[in-house]
Amino acid sequence: MPIKSLKARKENLANPSRQLEILNGGIFEEGKTLTFKDKISKTNNYPLRPKIIEILQLNLGYMCNQVCAHCHVDAGPDRKEIMTKETLQQCLDVIKNTSAHTLDLTGGAPEMNPNFKWFVEEASKIGINDIIVRSNLTIILANPKYKDLPDFFKKHNIHVVSSLPFYKREKTDKQRGNGVFDKSIKALKMLNTVGYGQENSKLKLDLVYNPSGAFLPTNQAAMENDFKKALKEDFDIDFNNLFAITNLPISRFLEYLIASENYEDYMYSLVDAYNPAAVENVMCTNTISISWDGWLYDCDFNQMLDLKVNSKVKHISEYNEDLLNDRNIIISQHCYGCTAGAGSSCQGSTI
């Protein structure tokens, strides 16, 4: 390898500046640092500019009932960051007056925000018909107060996007914790029972696959067929679509890459798989990510690296769509993850 190997070591990588330092520390081509800016410039994609803003993605907080090995949010039960009702109201005020038509609620476990149900109800009242909730599934079984979530989702026609690393117990539990697979299967059955993922049903249930190691996801369509066949045959579970999402070298996954001495190889695999066609529909071109405390980012990965939008408008309280549409999207080395192969976004492949 042309760059000095990063040795396995115990190091707190919760600091976004330290993560950026590592990411910018070197990917070399012919002796010169190969930045993501250089790469997309060669394919006439620089500067990366937004299209019309269609999605407001809200991180309702970093609190989660799980501690997943690949989590770029570093979420867990001990996290206290939670979006307040005041900030949630500001988000509602914004979406009333913008071109954005979709609310994408994520976390942590977004359902653990104490104002989660209130917010969904208020969003429904003002006519937001496309509300996505990114659920880890096990939250439904984590506490009796969450057991009505399938019915609540159905009542408000929520588009449920659920994490399931694999259709086998061993791989899922290795990535997400012992017992997670069985709880996930039970939660999926509960969602199927109220109509999610069923033929001729308007209730959408999509699954998300993240690789369990230092490799890129394979063909999304082929994986979807495998998931559907296995889950139907083994558990009589149905769902709509599978989204294959590339793990980005941020937070816990970055720690894993360094500790396992896979960092260099993984970064080079992302660079080698760069696909200019994948750049056209990366999520930062039609999405604004809003942190739990109301700051604005091009995507939730930039949010974790504290790379706020390149605009005079930086907080939800001063939201201005015209200014936000007239900005350059902030990029760095982690962006290789969204443009590798068939591309990766919160909606799966971009091609």
In terms of C-beta density within 10 A (0-12 exposed, 13-18 middle, 19 or more buried), how is residue 32 classed? Answer: exposed
Segment (H or E) for 86: helix 85-96
Average pLDDT, the chain: 90
Beta strands of 12-60 (E only): which ranges? 28-29, 32-33, 55-59
Number of H helices, E strands in the chain: 14, 10
pLDDT of residue 348: 77
CB 205 within 8 A of CB 197: yes
> Dihedral (C-alpha) 209, 224, 300, 179: value to the nearest 10 degrees?
-30
Count CB-CB contacts under 10 A for residue 3: 14
Structure tokens at 297: 């980012």
Domains of the chain, by residue range, sit at 49-246+281-323
Q: Please, which pLDDT band fits residue 15 given cuts at 50, 70 and 90? A: confident
> Quick one: DSSP state of residue 342?
T
- Give per-residue pLDDT as tens, 282-326: 999 999 999 999 999 999 999 999 999 999 999 999 999 999 999
Q: Please, which pLDDT band fits residue 2 given cuts at 50, 70 and 90? A: very low
| Cα–Cα distance for residue pair 46/199, rounded to 1 Å | 43
Residue 130 has pLDDT above 70, yes or no: yes
Residue 3 has pLDDT above 50, yes or no: no
Orientation of helix 85-96 relative to helix 116-125, angle to 10°: 20
Q: Region 126-144: what's the mean pLDDT?
A: 94
| Cα–Cα distance for residue pair 153/116, rounded to 1 Å | 12
| Cα–Cα distance for residue pair 150/102, rounded to 1 Å | 20
- Give per-residue pLDDT as tens, 159-214: 999 989 899 998 888 878 889 999 999 999 999 999 999 999 999 999 999 887 88
49-246+281-323 is classed CATH 3.20.20.150: no
| Cα–Cα distance for residue pair 288/94, rounded to 1 Å | 12
* Cα angle 163-165-171, degrees, rounded to a multiple of 5: 145
Which whole-number Å values give the CA distances from 242 to 228, 289, 338, in the listed order?
9, 22, 17
pLDDT of residue 144: 93
> Quick one: DSSP state of residue 338?
G
- Give per-residue pLDDT as tens, 51-72: 999 999 999 999 999 888 778 8
| Cα–Cα distance for residue pair 233/348, rounded to 1 Å | 24
In terms of C-beta density within 10 A (0-12 exposed, 13-18 middle, 19 or more buried), how is residue 86 classed? Answer: exposed
In percent, the amount of the chain with pLDDT more than 90 equals 68
The position carrying tokens 């994609």 is 45
- Report helix, strand or coil for 9: coil
N- to C-terminal Cα distance for the chain?
A: 31
Helices marked H in 206-280 — which ranges?
220-235, 251-259, 263-272, 276-279
| Cα–Cα distance for residue pair 273/269, rounded to 1 Å | 6
pLDDT of residue 4: 40
Q: Please, which pLDDT band fits residue 236 given cuts at 50, 70 and 90? A: very high
Count CB-CB contacts under 10 A for residue 227: 20
Residue 237 has pLDDT above 60, yes or no: yes
| Cα–Cα distance for residue pair 247/238, rounded to 1 Å | 25
Residue 99 has pLDDT above 90, yes or no: no
Task: Estimate to the nearest angstrom the gap between the alpha carbon of 168 and the chain centroid.
Answer: 22
